[in-house]
Chains A and B, each alone.
Chain A
Amino acid sequence: MLNEHLRRFLVAVMCISLLGAVMPMQARAAIVPTDRAISLQQRDAYIGTVTAGLAREDLRQRFVALGVDPAQVEARLAGLTDSELAALAERIDEVPAGGDVLAVIGIVFLVLLLLEFTGTIDIFKKVP
């Protein structure tokens, strides 16, 4: 008997709390954010709410995979606009990541090696 009452009470509480969870979402449907309105006018591209959400989720995983501390990923992504998130998620492997100026030496070495193999130059002769 008591169990039945308790059950009904709990169900009622859950229904009300669920309603509470849904209501505010309805109440603040959405304004069109400034960055989306601008990208629509500037590039004729519009980033919808769904696209922005997916991009954020995708980047969360990519950032962790690229060695970012999982505890910091959220804070780092928070500084980006939806347009930036969408553009980044689309081509994170291609966008420039400015790094080390010294690594340029690497390409010089590669070219020299190539020229050596083709017989154009002869500078590695002494190295066995």
Chain B
Amino acid sequence: MIRLPGASRVRGALAGQVRALAWLPLLPWVAACSTLAPLDAALPPGAPRHVELVATPFFAQEDHQCGPAALATVLVSSGVPAAPEELAPESYLPGREGSLQVELLAAARRRGRLPYVLPPEPGALAAELAAGRPVLVLQNLGIDAYPRWHYAVLVGLDAGRDEAILRSGRRQREVMSWARFDDSWRRGGRWAVVVLRPGDFPANPEPLRFLEATAGLEAAGLLDEAAASYAAAVLRWPDEPLAYLGLGNNAYLRGDLAAAAGSYRRGVSLAPDDPALRNNLAQALLDGGCPRQAEAESRTAVALADGTPLEGDARETLAAVSAALQQTGGIDSRCDIAGGGNVPGQPLSSPDDREARTADR
């Protein structure tokens, strides 16, 4: 079966050992395959068993540029005109011959869309497809030790045939066995993204995941789009303090100090021990010409932030408040924001209510 022409017995033995070692790099891959479940077992009970978004557009990828092609696919599906050629200059990294995940997110933000990174579960993919949204996924088509990263767009699942359907590379309709897709997706870190209109939600939104995605819009300078998303978030999760932090920060960045202070206050009523909310409330009051009111909040913030990573921020705010108090002689002379602006969500709760909520959290 295996000929070793002219080999001595020693060389033959050596070659035998090397031959055995040659299979080693494949072992992790083989081991990983054995843990995978069929699609039907991986999907939660309510998830659709068969869905394919046939109307999803297709952009054939140029050399190395699967990132821009996949991103254009999901952007156009969400209603934004986009083409891989225009996305490439802002998301392709020549030195890496590919696109970074965060740069695809940034490119989507710049086009007024909210990229939402899904929880790493097959059920999340199925739920988005059922809602009519194709999903941008990262695959590793190599092995862990020799990764070949690839972006594709998942447009369908079929639990009956145990298959995934993708727009991928130069194939408009690539059908992969679920096991093969799931394995490549797992080795890509189970990274999956949908792009949403600001103000819309994914199928099963998680509050912090959603707020983090919304903060990304602000990083790209899209304050109005972020405002729409935060406003939707406080209506959906009226008991989530961080939603009010986000809405307040957004108002602060847009220069609406009254609305900012009002939103922070709502957040403080839900989470009286949150140093970030107190600190930001103090900052908004200070900027709004109310250093006296700011002082009380700022001191509370410093006490709450003691020993946390926010300690420095809280002390800085207090120093600025103290300086302002010295300048004004301790009077809120031009304070006109204390009433607070209109905040969507619930009305302010009574003090008794607050106690109860705090105990809950």
Bound together: yes
**CB closest residue in chain B, given A93:** B96
The 5 closest A-B pairs by CB, nearest first: A79-B106, A66-B95, A97-B98, A67-B94, A99-B98
Given contacts A29-B319, A63-B93, A98-B138, 14 further A-B pairs with CB under 8 A are A31-B249, A31-B284, A34-B212, A34-B218, A38-B211, A78-B219, A79-B106, A80-B103, A81-B219, A84-B105, A88-B102, A99-B149, A102-B169, A103-B148
- A28 to B103, alpha carbons, bound, how many Å? 30
Cβ–Cβ < 8 Å partners of B335 in chain A: none
Report whether A66 and B246 are in contact in the complex, using a CB–CB cutoff of 8 Å: no
Which chain A residues in 18-72 approach chain B with CB under 8 Å? 26-35, 37-42, 46, 48, 63, 65-69, 72
Q: How many Å from the CB of A100 to the closest CB on chain B? A: 5
Contact with B along A76-118 (1 / 0, CB 8 A): 1011111110011000100111111111100100010011001
Binding site for A on B (CB under 8 A): 2-4, 15, 18-19, 22, 25-26, 61, 63-67, 70, 89-91, 93-103, 105-107, 109-110, 138, 140-143, 146-151, 168-169, 188-189, 191, 208, 211-212, 214-216, 218-221, 242, 245-246, 249-250, 252, 276, 279-280, 283-284, 287, 309-310, 312-313, 316-317, 319-320, 323
Cβ–Cβ < 8 Å partners of A29 in chain B: 283, 316-317, 319-320
Q: How many Å from the CB of A72 to the closest CB on chain B? A: 7
The count of residues in chain A whose C-beta lies closer than 8 Å to any C-beta of chain B is 55
Cβ–Cβ < 8 Å partners of B323 in chain A: 26
Report whether B107 and A34 are in contact in the complex, using a CB–CB cutoff of 8 Å: no
Report whether A98 and B320 are in contact in the complex, using a CB–CB cutoff of 8 Å: no
Interface assignment of A75: CB less than 8 Å from any CB of chain B: yes
Report whether B283 and A31 are in contact in the complex, using a CB–CB cutoff of 8 Å: yes
Can you list 15 A-B contacts (CB < 8 A)? Answer: A29-B283, A31-B284, A37-B276, A38-B208, A40-B309, A66-B94, A80-B106, A96-B101, A97-B93, A97-B149, A98-B66, A99-B65, A99-B96, A99-B150, A101-B150
- A28 to B97, alpha carbons, bound, how many Å? 41
- A120 to B249, alpha carbons, bound, how many Å? 65
**CB closest residue in chain B, given A77:** B106
**CB closest residue in chain B, given A101:** B169
Report whether A35 and B219 are in contact in the complex, using a CB–CB cutoff of 8 Å: yes
- A38 to B240, alpha carbons, bound, how many Å? 12
> Given A32-B313, A78-B221, A100-B66, are A26 and B95 neighbors across the interface (CB < 8 Å)?
no
> Given A38-B242, A48-B312, A81-B219, are A98 and B151 neighbors across the interface (CB < 8 Å)?
yes
Report whether A96 and B140 are in contact in the complex, using a CB–CB cutoff of 8 Å: yes
> Given A100-B63, A120-B19, are A66 and B96 neighbors across the interface (CB < 8 Å)?
yes
